[in-house]
Amino acid sequence: MKKINIKPDCVFSPQPMYIIGTKNEDGTPNFCIITWIGFSFDKTPHLMMSIGGSKLTKTNILREGKFSAGMITEDILWLADYFGSTRGEEGSKTAVPYGYTLGEQLEVPIIDQCHWTYECNVTRVVKLEGAHLFLAKIENIQIDEAYENMDMKAIDLCRLRPAVYAPYHYFSIGDKIGEMGQWKEHFL
């Protein structure tokens, strides 16, 4: 295969997306979308998140030290798109209907329609030139009770249906294509 080089102006990195829930100073909730999220493990599971510029979400996290991260699935995509397209600093996000409750372990707002949500406590903040990196310990995971009997070592993404972000567009995932370690079946 012949390769070409392109400038890293706009990084193409297909990613899942999360609704980040935070508490405003007056106790009301605020939600936005963050896609720059990864996970790591240091004795317990952690979430790594990057927030750029000035955002109410960032201000709230720097003050409160906690947030919720709810996986964006296809059924809540347009609610999430609304949260990601409107700025909390310009007023509360009440133009579309939704409900929320506070987390089980942490006082963080969680959208009622979210099927899979992490309650996160910030343990490190790295201030970069134009963004902040947050490392947060996952204190609790709230899932839809419909998934109670799902095999947690073989989670069926086709059932969960997370939406995928590839710059400026949303996609759905396709089919399951195999299991970890099956490489021999494809080469030998």
Residues that bind ligand FMN (CB under 6 A): 17, 30, 32-36, 50-52, 55-57, 81, 84-89, 165
Beta-carbon-side half-sphere exposure of residue 163 (alpha carbons within 13 Å)? 27
Give Cα separations from 29 to 36, 108, 110 (angstroms): 21, 8, 9
Beta-bridge partner residues of 71 = 18
Report the Cα 119 to chain-centroid distance in Å.
11
User: Residue 114 Cβ, how far from ligand FMN at the closest point, in Å?
Assistant: 16
User: Residue 154 Cβ, how far from ligand FMN at the closest point, in Å?
Assistant: 28
Between 91 and 155, name the residue whose CB sits nearer to ligand FMN: 91
The residue type at 29: P
User: Residue 53 Cβ, how far from ligand FMN at the closest point, in Å?
Assistant: 6
User: Residue 12 Cβ, how far from ligand FMN at the closest point, in Å?
Assistant: 14
Between 113 and 147, name the residue whose CB sits nearer to ligand FMN: 113
Between 128 and 180, name the residue whose CB sits nearer to ligand FMN: 128
Residue 160 makes CB contacts below 8 A (sequence gap 6+) with: 71, 73, 115, 116, 147
Between 107 and 156, name the residue whose CB sits nearer to ligand FMN: 107
At 18, is the secondary structure helix, strand, or coil? strand
